[in-house]
Amino acid sequence: MGEDFRRVEGVDAHFRLESFSAPDFDCKVQRRAGCYIISSPTHAFEYPNGKSPVIYIGLSDDLFRRLHDEHYQKHLKLLIEDKDWGLGTRLIHMMPDKYQYMRKWGARVDVFYNKGTQSEKEFESSLIANFYSKYRAMPVGNGARSYSQK
């Protein structure tokens, strides 16, 4: 389900984002550049051209920092501990939509290290373009449209 737009060689690492809360979790993600896809392990979202579990496609020059410090510690963990976090406060405190999807449906991360001459931005853009070509929409969590549109 949704696998056909991903890199043929497969993933370099994969795990549940929620695993960071386990004291004995041994994260295999390295502090290096690459892209990642966050999917629901339990739900497929309805897109104009089919269903896919993909929530978000992203990139980082330090994958461990991005996934642990930003996605988990600064966002998802807050919602896991309090599903109503940020409600009733100023709009600046609203949680980005992708984290609501991750809290509700779970968050499986597939990591792809950058192995060629392609930049992370080009790699991310190709993943998003391939996803869009297949499903005729952006992943539910990719609202910023920050990818390269070459």
Assessment of whether the complete model's pTM goes beyond 0.85: yes
Task: Tell me what pLDDT residue 92 has.
Answer: 55
**Partners of residue 40 on adjacent β-strands:** none
Task: Tell me what pLDDT residue 2 has.
Answer: 39
pLDDT range class, residue 68, cuts 50, 70, 90: very high
Structural tokens at position 88: 């009733």
The CA distance from 140 to 101, in Å, is 8
Task: Tell me what pLDDT residue 1 has.
Answer: 36
Task: Tell me what pLDDT residue 146 has.
Answer: 58
**Partners of residue 109 on adjacent β-strands:** 15, 38
Mean pLDDT on 78-86? 85
Task: Report the Cα 144 to chain-centroid distance in Å.
Answer: 13
Q: What is the mean pLDDT of the chain?
A: 87
